[in-house]
A and B are shown apart, each in its own frame.
Chain A
């Protein structure tokens, strides 16, 4: 797997997991807060209604009427009908007897005296509590539909999936562009390395940056320069050696040809004394030439292994000696 593919995959997974986890946690927290708020509201309202009923019952009592079952029923009904509009259902119990039931699909509860709240399967919130004394035997059950809360939560969940489906590919694309952009210097370096490996030693990386890649490119170029210099030096040296060998071959061939030829000439030709002297003279001088050549080669190889000794020399004297050496040759021409 390529580096950019790995990076892309890992970053994408990490990002999506982190994002989703935090979103899920936030949603969970918000759900909890909503739920708490709803519960608080339910118990508040239940207490409020219970108090109102209590007030009513008190005032009925103060008017001298006895609180009978039908009175309780009327009072409970007047509240229940009012709250029904808000999706709130009320039940009034007298001990274990149901005095008023405002809930159509009723049949469950319940409290053992103390105020308590619980959630039901149909997503209702039920709160029940006793009325203040002296009506302790009366119990008010408050039931509120919180389907709305669930629906909004579901809506949120769906929205979360949508966002994931849309944001995932967009994120992947943006990451792709970003990572390709970031790894471009690597590809450039790789390409240049290949070119140099192919023998094109004067190739360089054109990368002007101040980051690690720029530094790498700079060092790489420095290395390539060193390699190129060495290669050039080596090939120049090889060329020089080849030239020396070529020249040597030529320098050797000429005297060898004449020595061989004159020896054969002396050996097999029908010649006069004068020609014999010329031929043997040539063999003699060519032998000397070869000897000089051999010594010069030896000097050269010695020079290569030793440092050159420098001495002061008059240029005039140098020219003079050259002139002396070459005068004879010049006169011959």
Chain B
């Protein structure tokens, strides 16, 4: 997946973000102040920066001005939710702007959107004997194409984005098919059963008691 730099001075928040990034399979670097950022950018190839606005020393907006010519996508994370601040952020070239307190699923979704926009070719994901090519919207098992309906592929995509995180049936419904989709949560169960059967993922897609479903994958890629 992607390499993400998290610039956040509050250790709990920084941990929270990076732990979740790790869950869904991203690589990450931590920075606790704006000063550390240029060195890390020089050393590493970073796909996305999550940047807190209120930082000790060098604040997020000033840092943004310094690094905007590197053309790395940036999502601002801030407690300031005034319109003026948001406009200032977007004018500096931010790709998105997320306000504390945020839900981690929302942050992951936004990260996904920004990454999909910025990286032209998306690499295929290989899990066990299954290969998923997001760009082609194709899934292969043991080299053979698996016939998935559009709904099933969308559900698989959401599970992959939020891997290792349990998602409720309602959340899956919303994330995969949108708010407007008029279906019952049972529809989710039906599609999950189909995915398990077609991909042989009875063990991978876990039913979590009282919560929903979770696509479980081994730790670091």
- A residues sitting closer than 8 Å to B (CB atoms) are 249-250, 253-258, 260-262, 264-265, 267-271, 275, 278-279, 282, 285-286, 332-333
Contacts and interface: CB of A to CB of B under 8 A. Distances in A.
Nearest to A332: B11
B23 A254 contact: no
Contact of B23 (A256, A271, A333): A271
Given A250-B54, A265-B20, A286 B103 contact: no
A254 B16 CA distance: 11
Contacts of A254: 10, 12-13, 79, 100
Contacts of B208: 268
B104 A264 contact: yes
A267 B212 CA distance: 11
Interface stretch (B141-149, B160-168, B188-196): B160-168
Contacts of A267: 166, 211
With most chain B CB atoms within 10 A of its CB, the pick from A253, A256, A268 is: A268
Interface string B1-40: 0000000001111011101100100000000110000000
Given A264-B103, A265-B23, A271-B164, 18 more contacts: A253-B100, A253-B101, A254-B10, A256-B101, A257-B16, A258-B12, A260-B101, A261-B13, A261-B103, A264-B104, A267-B211, A268-B165, A268-B208, A269-B19, A269-B166, A270-B165, A270-B216, A333-B32
B90 interface: no
A261 B16 CA distance: 7
B23 A269 contact: yes
Given A269-B20, A270-B165, A270-B214, A262 B101 contact: no
Contacts of B211: 267-268
27 contacts: A250-B79, A250-B80, A253-B79, A253-B100, A254-B10, A254-B13, A255-B12, A256-B101, A257-B13, A260-B101, A261-B13, A261-B16, A261-B17, A261-B103, A265-B19, A265-B20, A267-B166, A268-B167, A268-B211, A269-B19, A269-B166, A270-B23, A270-B165, A270-B216, A275-B19, A278-B19, A332-B11
A263 B206 CA distance: 20
Nearest to A250: B79
Nearest to A283: B12
Contacts of B33: 333
Nearest to A249: B79
Nearest to B164: A270
A158 B166 CA distance: 116
Nearest to B167: A268
Contacts of A279: 16, 19
B158 to A, nearest CB: 14
Contacts of B10: 254, 258
A262 B16 CA distance: 6
A332 to B, nearest CB: 7
B180 to A, nearest CB: 25
Q: Which 9 pairs from chain A and chain B are nearest by CB?
A: A268-B166, A258-B12, A257-B101, A253-B100, A261-B16, A250-B79, A270-B164, A253-B79, A282-B12
Given A268-B208, A278-B19, A260 B32 contact: no
With most chain A CB atoms within 10 A of its CB, the pick from B15, B164, B166, B206 is: B15
With most chain B CB atoms within 10 A of its CB, the pick from A249, A260, A261, A279 is: A261
With most chain B CB atoms within 10 A of its CB, the pick from A258, A260, A267, A285 is: A258
Interface string B51-81: 0001000000000000000000000000110
